[in-house]
Amino acid sequence: MLQSFFVLQNQYEDLARDEVISISKSYDPKTNSRSESRLVILKSKAPWKKIASRATFVRTCGNIVDTFDDISKIDPPIPKPLSFVCRTINLSSKKLSSSSLERQAGEVLKNRWGSKVSLSNPHLTVYLIITDSEQYIGCADYTIQPKLPTKAIKHSHELDLKLSRCIVNLSQLKEGKTLCDPFCGTGTILLQAESMGIKSVGIDFDKIMCNITRKNLAVNGFKSKVINSSYNEIQNIKNKIDAIVTDLPYGISSRSSVSPKKLIKDFVSVVPKRKKLVIVYKKGLDVEEISKAKKYEIYRHKSLTRVIAVR
């Protein structure tokens, strides 16, 4: 089985790594992963391009084709490309001259393949990925730009599009499965889910928010169902959904007198136990019911740190 590599952005490393692994697991539950520094290597039936088209925090990715000790002897076992370029990704603690490594590798491969080097529009990019424990050769024939949805109407309480995409991916759903966001607000989570082919159902007890969500879905041509109701509606649709992904209120809503902490507690108690649950809430509102969930903290500003909990 081919191995793929993902070099992560240097923000939210744990979250970024788990997102990549979760996407892969949604297609291949037997995914094998290892990581070092900002590099994740997967043994998975999921093609790297599929994972790359969904991942939020990936900088560079492709297939791992070989390892090397001596740059002058590299001979990756792949068909020769029409043109190529070599790029260094130094994730080690050593200082390296990237340009000299790339020049040396370029010379060796040009002689082996007879292909031309193209800096601007190569058919293949050969990555020299250096970590403290290994030196890999990676390859990618093009770069992937995830297709992101747009928003017609925004709101000060909305979750940003990137984080929304990431938490949808943590739910390990693939195309055709159904997600429910029972506190959908402006619909950011639904937009990201549908943009990746995941069906979704939104619930919000505020009619105005439901209408905003409907408009945001419509500008993207999306068809997720939006129900104007309390989150308890989830009990009536539980057999139609595969995971719950949501961003809970951070303060007391003008429409309810329930404290945000009590709301989380009550909400978690109605979530079907066997469904995957990914929730976002304000740090400090932790409740016993999710004490065993995997958690990530996202600092926004001095009065808002979000927690993402995955159960």
Ligand X SMILES: C[S@@+](CC[C@H](N)C(=O)[O-])C[C@H]1O[C@@H](n2cnc3c(N)ncnc32)[C@H](O)[C@@H]1O
# binding residues, ligand X (CB under 6 A): 22
Q: Which of 157, 223, 240, 300 binds ligand X (CB under 6 A)?
A: 157
* Contact present, 132 and 93 (Cβ < 8 Å): yes
Q: How far is the CB of 270 from ligand X (least distance, A)?
A: 11
166 binds ligand X (CB under 6 A): no
* Cβ closest to ligand X, residue 19 vs residue 158: 158
Q: How far is CA 156 from CA 47, 49, 159, 194, in A?
A: 37, 34, 9, 22
Nearest CA among 48, 20, 54, 45 for reference residue 34 = 20
Q: Which stretch binds ligand X (CB under 6 A): 8-16, 35-43, 119-127, 204-212?
A: 204-212
Contacts of 273 (CB under 8 A, 6+ apart): none
Q: How far is the CB of 105 from ligand X (least distance, A)?
A: 45
Nearest CA among 168, 172, 143 for reference residue 46 = 172
Residues 242-281 that bind ligand X (CB under 6 A): 247, 249-250, 253, 256
CA distance 248 to 181: 10
- The torsion defined by the Cα of 221, 196, 238 and 172, in degrees rounded to 10, comes to -170
**Residue holding tokens 């903290």?**
297
Q: Which of 42, 138, 204, 245 binds ligand X (CB under 6 A)?
A: 204
Nearest CA among 244, 7, 269 for reference residue 136 = 7
How many helices, marked H, and strands, marked E, lie in the chain? Answer: 8, 15
Q: Which stretch binds ligand X (CB under 6 A): 34-42, 128-136, 152-160, 170-178?
A: 152-160
Q: How far is CA 287 from CA 180, 262, 303, 305, in A?
A: 21, 9, 20, 16
* Cβ closest to ligand X, residue 102 vs residue 194: 194
306 binds ligand X (CB under 6 A): no
Residues in contact with ligand X, shown as a per-residue x/- string from 3 to 32 under the rule CB under 6 A: ------------------------------
283 binds ligand X (CB under 6 A): no
CA distance 150 to 293: 31
* Cβ closest to ligand X, residue 103 vs residue 155: 155
Q: Of all residues in this chain, which one has the CB nearest to ligand X in the complex?
A: 185
Q: How far is the CB of 217 from ligand X (least distance, A)?
A: 12
Q: Cβ atoms within 10 A of the Cβ of 126, count?
A: 24
Q: How far is the CB of 269 from ligand X (least distance, A)?
A: 13
149 binds ligand X (CB under 6 A): no
Q: Cβ atoms within 10 A of the Cβ of 206, count?
A: 15
Residues in contact with ligand X, shown as a per-residue x/- string from 207 to 246 under the rule CB under 6 A: --x--------------------xx---------------
User: Where do contacts with ligand X occur on this chain (CB under 6 A)?
Assistant: 155, 157-159, 182-183, 185-186, 188-189, 203-206, 209, 230-231, 247, 249-250, 253, 256
